[in-house]
Structure 1
Amino acid sequence: MQRYFIELSYNGTAYHGWQIQPNASTVQECLDKALSVYFRQPISSLGCGRTDSGVHATQFYAHFDLQTAIDPLKSVTGINSLLPYQIAVKRVFEVDNEAHARFGATERAYHYHLHFHKDPFKLDRSWLYKGDLDMEAMNEAAKLLLTYTDFSCFSKSNTQTFTNNCNVMEAFFVKEDEGLKFTIRADRFLRNMVRAIVGTLIRVGKKELSLAQFKEIVESKNRCNAGQSVPACGLYLVNVIYPFVK
């Protein structure tokens, strides 16, 4: 038995997230069907995380095991021919049999995009925000995230995680194409964490929260105190780092 990593990207608009669900179309379901047909054996992949419904990924990894040797370059073309246009395989490569797509990742990064003017080419790919925002204030608040480890206030309740601790390494907004782009990088993320963080930072940008109040929300460890989650359409998983992958 040989383990392989597969790197892919996808537009998540039409899918109910990555992970297989009953009575819902997911990216993992489409990928596993394509892999099973192409390699002519039942295959169940395991992803580096689980993106929510409508969330996109410019870089996503999964692993799967095969009983036979393959040509990785030829496999990319073959698998892509069986996938819908919204899902694209970038590469397939052999890894050690102990390598794990989820637990082997040491860093992940997300982008969140929002724009201020109606644009048909940003539909389902960015959030149309109507109003003014103080980016400087939002960045001051975002810097505070690097000083905390417990992010319970930004996590969905009743999740199956053993800890809500994360090491946030970067968090900042930049102006981009008549809008803003938020970047956040950490060793791990909680369910709904990025969208809840952005929603709370938006409240800072609207002058509804001061920096002191933002700190109180983080320290409260209570999801009810944080802002609403922003729409999924603007969220992208953009980078996943493994010590054994170049």
Structure 2
Amino acid sequence: MHSSTYCWNRSGARQPFNHVLPRSSRYPITLKRRYVWRTQQPVSQLHTSKISTAQKIVSKYRLRRNLSYNRVAKPYAARVPSCFVGGPAGRHRASRSKLGGLITSRYVFRQITSDASPSSNRSCMRPLLNYVRLLLCRGKQILSQMEEDVTKHKNIFDELPFKRARHEDDEEEKKVVEESANNTFVRRKKLKYALLLSYRGKAYHGMQINQETPTIEYFLFDALKKLDFISEEQARKPSSFKFQRAARTDKGVSAARQVCSVQLPLKEDATDEAISSLNNLLPEDIRIMAIQRTTRGFDSKKWCDSRLYSYVLPAFCFAPMQEAYDAENYRLSDESLKEINRVLQYYVGTHNFFNFTSGKSFTEESSKRYIMESKCSRLPFNKATEYLIVSFRGQSFLIHQIRKMIGLCVSIVRGHCTEDYMRSVWLPERVRIPMAPALGLLLEEPFFTYYNERFEATHKPLCWDSVRAKCDQFREQHIIADIIETDEKEKMFDEWLRYLGEKFWKKEGGDAEEVESPLTADEAAKVPTGNF
């Protein structure tokens, strides 16, 4: 065998590598030469290497430390992680057969395992020794003598994780190491959770974080940082702790139930304390209603199969433009309510909504959206002015889509344009559509129907029945009440209706009149009224 292939025995003397491996005809010398490393390191010099080197090597295998028995020494085989089997830097990791598991680069590590048996030959490979070195030198300083390390860690191999059945939480058990006052390290699991939020968006510039303006996520991340759930660097990069929101809300838009997925070092039985601590740090108009454990692959955006939005507006917004009315005492008739619901049915189904947003073209596939339900009902609220609530449930929505859907529906019912104009918005030509104020829009709830059905046997469903009454109370007292109060003070919908009649639908050189469809009568007859 090559002269450079050697190891160190118990006393520290160098000896040929063949002396420590069992002699057998099953393992030819050529295969031994193929897998042996030419550069070895004596055990007595392990403490002289820098700890950073050990961390760099171990990081390659940290997530793949499944164990398998090494059968080199028959009765006293060392338990070596299977990720280390197969050669330098994992080049031969695929060779996990009996031969590949036995004939690899290794040398006797007697100083650590000498207490097992005087005649045992427990073997380790170089990456495994680096991992052992990391365990021995986990403190702030590298211990000066290997003998002291061995004394502290006599059963070093017992600290390695054993192979077990693969289950849901295996990949979730990534550790976060934090140093306590007595210079010891506490390991905290990072688990996936769903956060249920309720907030009033009047004072914020949307949900998504923006360094220049106050947003919902800014205050949420700040509270998580103060509780040491995330670091400053993670707050600047939300994807680092798997943060995702089920739906985006624009400036001034509120949410009765918003769901965010996040990975936190939080115990499952400590969610109530976390909710109380977070709410103490958050503003009064942002509340954490619930924290629920989910699967490790849960993503609130991808697993959300539908979203429910509502829009609150005064009933006089649907009064005919030629009719004189008293805004405070106006009451919508049942026939007018049926007419509104009939017009809203134009939106149900799959349509190309490129005219209802900005930055989209008719040919883009992302312009198509599926609306499951749209309806209008009276809002039960003890106020002099009657208010209505229009609800839309769909798979997803484009930016400004709902506000423009409200604007077009109001324009048709008031008589600013005909229903043929509604049919023309689905065609490739760009059509102008008015946009309603952001004040009345709110996210009611995202739904996770498919997720609840798939993981019904292993995880709690994301239906939030236990806190539904609490969310409804926040919705009525902080969101709906604020919308009505703000409208009564600022008269935003009065100004918007005046804008529709005097500017948006006004013809050049004339008064506000009914706008005809850009289609001819024959073209309008060919446009289908059902789902596309």
Q: Give the alignment's TM-score, normalised by structure 1.
A: 0.86
Alignment of 1:198-217 (within 5 A): 198-217=406-425
SS in 1 for 2:213: coil
Among 229, 237, 244, the residue aligned to 2:443? 237
Instruction: Give aligned pairs, total.
Output: 233
Shift of 1:136: 3.5
> Aligned AA for 1:56?
S
Alignment partners' CA distance in 1, 2:340 and 2:405: 11
* Structure with the larger strand share: 1
Which residue is equivalent to 2:354?
Answer: 152
Shift of 1:172: 1.5
Alignment partners' CA distance in 1, 2:411 and 2:219: 37
Q: Structure 1 138/78 Cα, relative in aligned 2: closer, same or farther at 3 Å?
A: same
Which residue is equivalent to 1:32?
Answer: 221
Alignment of 1:1-246 (within 5 A): 1-42=190-231, 43=235, 44=238, 45-70=243-268, 71-115=270-314, 134-157=336-359, 163-176=366-379, 177=381, 178-220=386-428, 222=430, 225-242=431-448, 243-244=451-452, 245-246=462-463
> Aligned AA for 2:222?
K
> Aligned AA for 2:345?
K
C-alpha contact (below 8 Å) 1:196/1:226 kept by paired residues: no
Q: Give the alignment's TM-score, normalised by structure 2.
A: 0.41
C-alpha contact (below 8 Å) 2:349/2:372 kept by paired residues: no
> Aligned AA for 1:145?
Y
User: Identity of counterpart residues, as a percentage?
Assistant: 21
Q: Post-superposition, which runs of at least 4 consecutive aligned residues in structure 1 deviate over 6 A?
A: none
> Aligned AA for 1:49?
A
1:165-202 C-alpha deviation (Å, 9 max, x unpaired): 22111112112240211010001111111111101111
C-alpha contact (below 8 Å) 2:353/2:426 kept by paired residues: yes
C-alpha contact (below 8 Å) 1:152/1:221 kept by paired residues: no
Alignment partners' CA distance in 2, 1:46 and 1:86: 21
Q: Structure 1 47/192 Cα, relative in aligned 2: closer, same or farther at 3 Å?
A: same
Alignment partners' CA distance in 1, 2:259 and 2:365: 23
Structure having greater relative contact order (Cα 8 Å, sep ≥ 6): 1
- Larger Rg: 1 or 2? 2
Alignment partners' CA distance in 1, 2:438 and 2:412: 20
Which residue is equivalent to 2:509?
Answer: none
> Aligned AA for 1:238?
E
Shift of 1:162: 5.9
Alignment partners' CA distance in 1, 2:365 and 2:262: 25
Alignment partners' CA distance in 2, 1:77 and 1:27: 18
C-alpha contact (below 8 Å) 1:135/1:205 kept by paired residues: no
C-alpha contact (below 8 Å) 2:354/2:360 kept by paired residues: no
